[in-house]
Amino acid sequence: MTQQTRSVSRESALRDRRWLLIDATDRPLGRVASRAASMLRGKHRPDYTPHQDVGDFVVVINADKIKLTGAKAADKVYHRHTEYPGGVHSTTAGKLLSGKPERLIEMAVRGMLPKSRLGRQLFLKLKIYRGADHPHAAQKPQPIAI
Instruction: Count other C-beta atoms under 10 Å from residue 28's C-beta.
Output: 16
CATH number for the domain that contains residue 107: 3.90.1180.10
Domain count, the chain: 1
pLDDT digits (tens, 9 = 90+) for 92-133: 999 999 999 999 999 999 999 999 999 999 999 999 999 999
Domain annotation covers residue 60: yes
Q: How far apart are CA 125 and CA 75, in angstroms?
A: 30
Q: Does the residue 58 lie in any domain?
A: yes
Q: How far apart (Å, rounded) are the C-alpha atoms in residues 143 and 79?
A: 33
User: Is 121 inside a domain boundary?
Assistant: yes
Predicted local confidence at residue 146, as pLDDT: 85
Q: What is the pLDDT of residue 5?
A: 55
Task: State how far the Cα of 32 lies from the Cα of 63, in Å rounded to an integer.
Answer: 10
Q: Could you tell me the residue range of the domain that residue 30 belongs to? A: 3-68+101-143
Q: Is residue 78 part of a domain?
A: no
